Amino acid sequence: MNNPEAGAPNVEEVPVVVIGAGQAGLSISWHLAQRGIAHVVLERDTIAHEWRDGRWDNFTLVTPNWQCNLPGYEYSGDDPNGFMTRDQVYAWVRDYARTFDAPVREHVSVTSVSQCAGGGFDVLTTAGPFRADHVVVAVGGYHTPVIPRFAEKLPDRIAQVHSSQYRGADRLPDGAVLVVGSGQSGAQIAEDLHLAGRKVHLATGSAPRVARFYRGRDCVAWLHDMGVYDVSISEHPGGLSKREKTNHYVTGRDGGRDIDLRGFAREGMQLHGRSTGLVGTTMTFAPNLAKNLAAADAVSDAIKDDIDAYIDRAGIDAPTEQRYVPVWTPEAEVTELDLATTDISAIVWSIGFRTDYRFLKVGVFDGEGMPTHTRGVTSAPGVYFLGLPWQHTWGSGRFAAIARDAEYLADQVIAGCVPSAQARSSH
């Protein structure tokens, strides 16, 4: 401990501070614990709380359970090809923390991280100050829900929630529901509402889709064997721009299946193009629904083409399968929706998040507030990020690849941490 001036709080010194106790923060904590590196994991809420608090009641993973591996810990249930529910994932990650007695301090918010003049970092928190040689930011990249400014002008009678606040059809007022955004969350929430018997309007975007199963296997299994999730972002066409792309929509619900928006439309869901704004009480949509559906189908077909080619190259005996044939096409696109005359009672905004790293007062960001890094290592010695989408590969958003990213980052942290830890022990 330091000897602070009278009245000043004690500063707790620790070689490594990890911010965030989700799967990413816990993964690097495991590696640090294995190497005997003193550290603390600071969590503003409780361990893995986002799995419980940021998903809807019927949420399931879209990746099969066999992909759920963290350092020193893997899925051991009786349904490896199934998809854990929200509550099962929440329990699974919390159980992980117990397996190695992770040094997590819950209900501690980090308010500021700044560089010390003599090296290291001052970490100010609601539980007092820390001083660390290394800081690992493991809070993900989804912080502030995005809701368009024009939403403030919508009629008061219409309930509005972000996808992170949506819990289920029964939590919304009676009537039709407009879901804005067709990425993973938007498409799955539209499905959830549709299955609950609600009238749904869905404003689509450019999100691609992928088949759940193809030629006898889950597409995730094929892509895993093909090494698709292992291609680094530096080797991928599009490079760093991939970090801004939307994930493919599919579902793990009821054992897993495609999300076929065309099929939903045939069953009564009203599809629209991209939401473009509000004129008076009228929501407007771009006339690009047909284009959006065709583009999503094209991505799904391209993935199947790659799987076919892999099967041929490897000489795998796999059943053949007919390609998807569109079951519905829009005859005329509905580009206006007068909210004053429809029965829409609620809107679910599923158009993403903004990052919020204001607590990190170190120059490691680009002009849009995004972290600049290579595999989580920033230009500021001692500052690292873990758990970001496309941190290193497409798989970086999945448990198994988070484990791999954590191991790489732990090696970088430990390499710089051991000398300082030894120096402290010699005093």
Query: Average of pLDDT values for 6-10?
Result: 68
41 token code pair: 């994991």
Per residue in 126-174, pLDDT (tens digit) is 999 999 999 999 998 888 899 999 999 999 999 999 999 999 999 999 9
Query: Average of pLDDT values for 30-48?
Result: 96
Burial of 163 (0-12, 13-18, 19+ CB in 10 A): buried
Query: Average of pLDDT values for 367-393?
Result: 88
Whether the predicted pLDDT of 241 surpasses 50: no
Kindly tell me the sign of the dihedral angle through the C-alpha atoms of 181, 187, 193, 194.
positive
| H or E element that contains 235 | none
Q: How far apart are alpha carbons 275 and 14 in whole angstroms? A: 49
Strand partners of residue 60: 85
Give the pLDDT confidence score for residue 7 in this predicted structure.
57
Whether the predicted pLDDT of 1 surpasses 50: no
Spatial CA neighbour of 24 closest among 399, 384, 375: 399
Which range has the worst mean pLDDT, 62-66, 94-98, 231-235? 231-235
Whether the predicted pLDDT of 176 surpasses 70: yes
Name which CATH class applies to 145-349.
alpha beta
Query: Average of pLDDT values for 376-388?
Result: 92
Whether the predicted pLDDT of 6 surpasses 70: no
**Beta strands 336-338 and 282-285: pairing type?**
antiparallel
Strand partners of residue 180: 203, 349
* Rounded (to 5) percent helix, strand, coil in the chain: 30, 25, 45
Whether the predicted pLDDT of 3 surpasses 70: no
**Beta strands 353-354 and 144-145: pairing type?**
antiparallel
Query: Average of pLDDT values for 381-397?
Result: 84
Give the pLDDT confidence score for residue 174 in this predicted structure.
97
Q: What are the two backbone dihedrals, phi and then psi, of residue 348, each rounded to the nearest 5 degrees?
A: -110, 115
Give the pLDDT confidence score for residue 2 in this predicted structure.
47
Per residue in 208-224, pLDDT (tens digit) is 999 999 999 999 999 99
Please state, for a pLDDT cut of 70, what percent of the chain lies above it: 93
378 token code pair: 């920033």
Give the pLDDT confidence score for residue 307 in this predicted structure.
98
* Residue 62 DSSP class: S
What is the reported pTM?
0.91
* Residue 140 DSSP class: -
Exposure class string for 37-60: b at 16+ Cβ within 10 A, else e? bebbbbbbeebbbbbbebbbebbb
150 token code pair: 């024009």
Radius of gyration of the chain from Cα atoms?
A: 24
Kindly tell me the sign of the dihedral angle through the C-alpha atoms of 304, 308, 309, 311.
positive
Per residue in 339-373, pLDDT (tens digit) is 989 999 999 999 999 889 999 999 999 888 888 98
Query: Average of pLDDT values for 232-236?
Result: 70
- With the CA atoms of 392, 396, 401 and 404 taken in that order, what torsion angle do they form, in degrees rounded to the nearest 10? 40
Query: Average of pLDDT values for 370-390?
Result: 90
Tell which wins on pLDDT, 246 or 361: 361
Q: How far apart are alpha carbons 198 and 218 in whole angstroms? A: 29
Give the pLDDT confidence score for residue 245 in this predicted structure.
58
Residues of the chain with CATH 3.50.50.60: 12-143+355-425, 145-349
Question: Residues for the chain: how many in total?
Answer: 427
39 token code pair: 């550290």
**Beta strands 200-203 and 344-349: pairing type?**
unpaired
* Mean of pLDDT over the chain: 91
Give the pLDDT confidence score for residue 425 in this predicted structure.
36
Q: How far apart are alpha carbons 248 and 246 in whole angstroms? A: 7
Name which CATH class applies to 12-143+355-425.
alpha beta
Per residue in 285-316, pLDDT (tens digit) is 999 999 999 999 999 999 999 999 999 999 99
Per residue in 273-290, pLDDT (tens digit) is 999 999 999 999 999 999
List strand residue ranges (DSSP E) for 110-187, in order. Answer: 110-115, 121-125, 128-137, 144-145, 159-162, 176-180
Tell which wins on pLDDT, 308 or 392: 308
Half-sphere exposure of 352 (CA within 13 A, CB side): 11
Question: Which residue stretches of 238-288 are H helix?
Answer: 261-266
